[in-house]
Amino acid sequence: MTSFFDAVTLQAGYNAALVAIGAGLLGFAAGASGTFLFLRKRALVSDAVAHATLPGVGLAFIMMVALGGDGRNLLGLLAGSAATAWLGLLMIEWITRRTRLAEDAAIGAVLGVFFGVGIVLLTVVQTMSAGRQAGLESFLLGATAGMLREDVIVIAIGGALAVFATWLMRRPLTLVSFDSEYAAALGYDVRRIDLIMMGLVMAVTVIGLKLVGLILIVALLIIPAVTARFWTERSTHVIWIAGALGGTAGYIGAAMSATAPALPTGPIIVLASAALFVISLFFAPRRGVLAAILRHRRFQARVHRRQGLLALAARHPIHEAFTLRLLQSEGLVRRDGVPTPAGLAQAVKVARDESRWKIAREIHQDAGLTGRYDGLTPIEEVFTPDEIAEFDHRLGPPRAVEAK
Amino acid sequence: MGAEFVQFSLTPILIGVFSAIACALPGNFLILRRQALIGDAISHVVLPGIVVAFLLTGVVAAIPMLSGAAGAAIVAVVLIETVKRLGKIEPGAAMGVVFTTMFAAGVLILEQTDTSQVHLDVEHALMGNLESLIWFRAEGWHSLVDPVALAGLPDELFRIAAVCALIALLTGVFWRWLKVATFDEAFARAVGIPAAAVGIGLVVCAALAAVAAFDAVGSIIVIAMFICPPAAARLMTNRLESQLWWSVAFATLSAVLGYVLAGYGPLWFGARNAVSAAGMIATVSGLILGLACLYGPHRNRIGANRHGTP
């Protein structure tokens, strides 16, 4: 625990601190840019982009060795991965635009094929004399152990740039992901903005390759955005909440994985992100499962209360156990089911409300108002006092519910 | 094409072909139902399933691993549905949340447990090991009728052949249900076809194919085979029957050509080592799809002009 505390407070060494900061920035950038994908309902495009980076890594390594270089230069490898990821993106776009295949088929095809090509290239690299120690497999699942200081700096700077680019592009991206037709009507080039969005996603993917690995980077783009959606109904807020959630998961995950050898960075970051998701799924204030259950219970209570009071007013016996319990707890009926004076008063009020609604629906012309009758809404919330007086005039004066 | 071919290449090619066909058959319906990425999700969650099965049983044996993987696939499908309903999240994102989390959990458990004694690692799970499934006892084509040599065939061959046959059989038996439920679910329900059950059955079949193929050839090939041959077939014809046959042909072609290119291709270029067969099979299937996209007779949407956008 102390080592975890050390890592979180950046005391666990210079490299670990840089990795944690880099992961935090990357998580923020991924969460924020992933939001646009999620709102545009194209979350899984990022999975294809991520898998399409693999052939680029292999090709870049082979080319750098052929040119007499080291082959393990992180910038070179990342540039290669960006090139094939972009190619993959264009292929998806081309397939969906030019053929009758749907986008999901295009995504799956690009994902599977590019990954296959990547694996072929990796086996080629392994047979090269310079390739035996290349460690390119670490791009599959990410590896922070044994990372060079330059690599860490590349990741930290890249993460910061991605955050900046997201901030710069937030307005057009929000507009397009929220309502692309409106954006097109305003004269924005939706296709180009879509490509910018994908470019941002690609940048995040490429920067995250070494840290999280290409199989799991998609989680950083999707999970924070989905999580943030639970907490707000405003698109501008989703972006920054997703960024914050992603940043937290990245930072905590990287710090945690620095504390023990068998805690791989990528999976830990993803699991931290998933934990935040599960918490939000259940406990988010409006859209969470708990909130939905409570809302349902409240609605149920309102329906039972109303129906119970109507039964009292009509002098019908109540048999339903939940209604009886509800009315008893409010002191509206006695334990034997006989209404108390307060219960009778409430019953008269509810019965009169119901009669007023009946008149209103007969004589009022505006279906927008009478359509709000659901057997629950008090009429005072829909009609003005003048109108209600008119209904009362037709209804006659209130009468007491006489005992039989 | 002598004894060496039978010993080293015949069984991997057969296993590759059976895996490809077993995945391509359900893939046809997944593509038409816009569920192509279910295959992607399933192939990712196979890893945690296998790891958990290994933890529970402590052995690397086929049956526990296969049941673990199948269990994980079913858990994943249920979880995706739960997340989708509870959180009112669109299916793609729900899928992304579930399969990445399960995969991450699988990797973490794998790292946490001591699996150095057994051959169980992530790369093997991804890339498969098609090349190693050789037929040691074969001495030539005559071994095909020699019961002693036949007993030495790798178990994977029988498993994937059985799964492939089962899926082909199920596709044939439930053909009309599948066809109607895929194209018009409401009509299917109206005429009394249990459309929801057909949908679930299809996903279970896909999981079965993924798991069995994964056992032999790794998960890359699974994703590519679910999608590429059926997608290419979709561009060749407007009839479901012919589409199915096209997809089987494309799957077979990818498997055979991919294996041959991976095993012998580098030798033609003067290199000494073979490259990954599974990767090459996926590559070839992609090339076939690319050709179909360029030249397939039914590549355009109906009503679209030659230049794509309507």
Q: What is the pLDDT of residues A241-256, one digit of tens each?
A: 999 999 999 999 888 8
Instruction: Name the residue among A95, A104, A216 with its Cβ closest to that of B37.
Output: A104
Average pLDDT of the residues in A342-353: 87
Q: What is the distance in angstroms between the Cα of A325 and the nearest Cα belonging to chain B? A: 30
Residues in A touching B302 (Cβ below 8 Å): 100
pLDDT for B149 equals 74
What percent of chain A clears pLDDT 90, i.e. is strictly above it?
24
**Rounded Cα–Cα distance for residues A52 and A56 (Å):** 8
Q: Which amino acid is at B188?
A: A
Checking if the pLDDT of A166 tops 90, the result is: no
**Rounded Cα–Cα distance for residues A147 and A16 (Å):** 10
Instruction: Name the residue among A101, A105, A277 with its Cβ closest to that of B97.
Output: A277
CATH 1.10.3470.10, applies to B3-295: yes
CA end-to-end span of chain A = 74
User: For an interface test with B, which of A119, A136, A221 has the most B Cβ atoms less than 10 Å from its Cβ?
Assistant: A119
Residues in A touching B271 (Cβ below 8 Å): 124, 127
Per residue in B218-236, pLDDT tens?
777 788 999 999 999 999 9
pLDDT for B310 equals 42
Residue A352 tokens read as: 């009169």
SS (H, E, C) A2-31: HHHHHHHCCCCCHHHHHHHHHHHHHHHHHH
pLDDT for B229 equals 95
User: For an interface test with B, which of A90, A101, A287 has the most B Cβ atoms less than 10 Å from its Cβ?
Assistant: A101
Residue A144's nearest CA partner among A4, A246, A256, A54 is A256
Q: Which residues contact B202 (CB under 8 A, 6 or more apart)?
A: B26, B29, B30, B33, B178
ipTM of model: 0.90
**Rounded Cα–Cα distance for residues A348 and A356 (Å):** 12
Tell me if residue B89 falls in helix, strand or coil.
Answer: coil
Helices (H) and strands (E) in chain A, counts: 19, 0
Average pLDDT of the residues in A176-182: 85
Per the CB < 8 A criterion, the answer to whether B23 and B225 are in contact is yes
Tell me if residue A232 falls in helix, strand or coil.
Answer: coil
Interchain contact, A116 vs B286, CB within 8 Å: yes
Interchain contact, B273 vs A43, CB within 8 Å: no
Tell me if residue A43 falls in helix, strand or coil.
Answer: coil
Tell me if residue B139 falls in helix, strand or coil.
Answer: coil
Residue B277 tokens read as: 């067969």
Instruction: Name the residue among A98, A268, A270 with its Cβ closest to that of B100.
Output: A270
The sign of the torsion formed by the CA atoms of A129, A130, A135, A137 equals: negative
Q: What is the distance in angstroms between the Cα of B148 and the nearest Cα belonging to chain A? A: 35
CB atoms within 10 A of CB A90: 13
Q: Which residues of chain B are modeled with pLDDT < 70? A: 1-3, 114-125, 270-272, 303-310
Checking if the pLDDT of A393 tops 50, the result is: yes
Residues in B touching A116 (Cβ below 8 Å): 220-221, 224, 278-283, 285-286
Instruction: Name the residue among A95, A108, A124 with its Cβ closest to that of B223.
Output: A108
pLDDT for B211 equals 81
Backbone angles phi, psi at B308, to 5 degrees: 90, -105
pLDDT for A134 equals 62
Tell me if residue B268 falls in helix, strand or coil.
Answer: helix
Which residue spans within A255-354 are E strands per DSSP? none
Residues in B touching A42 (Cβ below 8 Å): 92
Residues in A touching B34 (Cβ below 8 Å): 102, 104
Instruction: Name the residue among B37, B90, B279 with its Cβ closest to that of A120.
Output: B279
Per the CB < 8 A criterion, the answer to whether A16 and A7 are in contact is yes
Q: What is the distance in angstroms between the Cα of B108 and the nearest Cα belonging to chain A? A: 6
| DSSP labels, A271-298 | HHHHHHHHHHHHH-TTTSHHHHHHHHHH
Residue B157 tokens read as: 């061959």
Residue A191 tokens read as: 């296709």
Residue A213's nearest CA partner among A162, A255, A264, A149 is A264
Minimum Cα–Cα distance from B306: chain A residue:
A98
Interchain contact, A281 vs B301, CB within 8 Å: no
Per residue in A74-133, pLDDT tens?
888 889 999 999 999 999 989 998 898 988 999 999 999 999 999 889 888 887 766 565
Instruction: Name the residue among B34, B88, B103 with its Cβ closest to that of A102.
Output: B34
User: For an interface test with A, which of B107, B115, B300 has the most A Cβ atoms less than 10 Å from its Cβ?
Assistant: B107
Per residue in B41-81, pLDDT tens?
888 888 888 888 888 887 777 788 888 888 898 899 889 98
Instruction: Name the residue among A43, A118, A274 with its Cβ closest to that of B93.
Output: A43
Element spanning B150, H or E: helix B147-150
Interchain contact, B37 vs A108, CB within 8 Å: yes
Residues in A touching B122 (Cβ below 8 Å): 140-141
Q: Which residues contact A5 (CB under 8 A, 6 or more apart)?
A: none
Q: What is the distance in angstroms between the Cα of B213 and the nearest Cα belonging to chain A? A: 15
Q: Which domains does chain A have, with CATH numbers?
A: 2-280 (1.10.3470.10), 290-395 (no CATH)
Cα A23 to the chain's mean position, in Å?
20
Residue B21's nearest CA partner among B241, B212, B279 is B212
Checking if the pLDDT of A384 tops 90, the result is: no
Per the CB < 8 A criterion, the answer to whether B138 and B3 are in contact is yes
Banded pLDDT at A239 (limits 50, 70, 90): confident
CB atoms within 10 A of CB B175: 13
Average pLDDT, chain A: 85
Placement of tokens 């999580």 in the chain: A227
Interchain contact, A287 vs B231, CB within 8 Å: no
Greater confidence (A403 vs B19) lies with B19
pLDDT for A404 equals 44
pLDDT for A146 equals 61
Residue A134 tokens read as: 């290349």
Q: Which residues contact A260 (CB under 8 A, 6 or more apart)?
A: A3
Tell me if residue B273 falls in helix, strand or coil.
Answer: coil
Per residue in A6-57, pLDDT tens?
766 666 677 778 788 888 888 998 998 888 888 888 888 889 999 999 999 9
Q: Which amino acid is at A401?
A: V
pLDDT for B174 equals 92
Q: What is the distance in angstroms between the Cα of A137 and the nearest Cα belonging to chain B? A: 8
